[in-house]
Amino acid sequence: MGHGVLRRQPQPRASHPNLEVTDASFDGVRVRVYKPQAQKTESKMTGLMWFHGGGWVFGSIDLYDDLVGRIANQTGAVVVSVEYRLAPEHKFPIPFEDCLTATQHFLQHASEYGVDPTRIGVAGDSAGGNLAAAVALRLSKDDKKKFPPLKLQALIYPALQAFDFQTPSYVSGHRFFVLLPAKTMTGFWIRYLNNNMSLVDTFANNGHTAALKKSRFASFVDRHFLDDSVPRLVPEDVRIDLPDDMKDILNPYYSPLMAEDADLSGLPNTYVTVCGTDVLRDDGIMYARRLEMAGVQVRLARYPSGFHGIMSFSSKPFYFQVGKQMEQDLTTFLRHHL
């Protein structure tokens, strides 16, 4: 496999009889490669990088093995699941850098896996959606001669900003969203940032960004994006004075909604899913709206009766029809657009 160091020879598994599943290392980052068994056609396959959810703190390629295997089977794509290092032991930017490194490796060595390097996308759920969005932003700035541009990004109920924890979905999440309460999500952001858990209440009440509400950054997380009204105007930048260990809340590779409009305009075809019962719902809606305004082709898939994490409940024994539908809609999009 060239520069990808194999840990185990490709082999079908009982759970994935139509796939060759290989554990490997992409430039030092552990990955699991799911390759559909040889097809009759001689054309190159499509490829997808998958970044798992878990608040940057939990999750693994083993936990997502069934889901990622199904995605590979249903799309016919070679899917690479990334075992990025986790916070709080490995805070930002390490998880992001692991995902970026693995993706760059795959783009450069795609032909070794039978993949067309111009037909590779990135995807992930929750924190993995954050990482996929961040990797797409970073790669949009790379030398296209060195790394082919991504074909698409698919963001499943993504976490996209740590600027405003008083959006309608976060406010409702203080009361209802049991699977991912608002303060739990706030805590995940802090563990990923600096692990100073004494800041949870400050972040939850927007005390960390009070001085920035009149800056241009406020326009990036504008609640008017949640409906069809014209985005409000904001004053010119004010002085930004954040502690060193908090400045990354404005870094688009930590919070993709903080990206400038010009940077968003360079992003690939985008698929975003949001659930009605999810503190992250408004993040996804605002990002989709900003991408659309920047001229990016976007599909926003809404699941009003869905809750955060529901796509992980798309097969027995833990099964929700909405989760199954979300998985089917995702794989249909990937088949048609990769």
In order of 119, 187, 206, the CA distances from 199 in angstroms are 42, 8, 10
Burial class (CB in 10 A: 0-12, 13-18, 19+), 188: buried
CA dist 16 and 230 (Å) reads: 49
Measured CA to CA, the distance from residue 160 to residue 203 in angstroms comes to 15
b/e sequence 244-254, b meaning 16+ C-beta within 10 Å: eebebbbbbbb
DSSP β-bridge partners for residue 31: 24, 82
Q: How far is the CA of 303 from the CAs of 93, 166, 324, in angstroms?
A: 31, 22, 12
**Pick the catalytic residue: 60, 81, 126, 312?**
126
Q: What is the spatial distance between Cα 181 and Cα 275, in angstroms, rounded to a whole number?
A: 14
Determine contact, residues 246/275, Cβ cutoff 8 Å.
Answer: no
Query: Is residue 126 annotated as part of the catalytic site, yes or no?
Result: yes
Q: How far is CA 120 from CA 109, 159, 220, in A?
A: 12, 22, 28
Cα 216 from Cα 214, distance rounded (Å): 7
Q: Where are the alpha helices (DSSP H) in 56-109?
A: 65-75, 94-108
Q: What are phi and psi of 59, to 5 degrees?
A: 95, 160
Q: Is 108:75 a contact under the CB 8 Å cutoff?
A: no
The sign one gets for the Cα dihedral 226, 261, 91, 214 is negative
In this structure, the number of other CB atoms found within 10 A of the CB of residue 184 comes to 15
Gap between the Cα atoms of 28 and 102, Å rounded = 8
Active site residues: 126
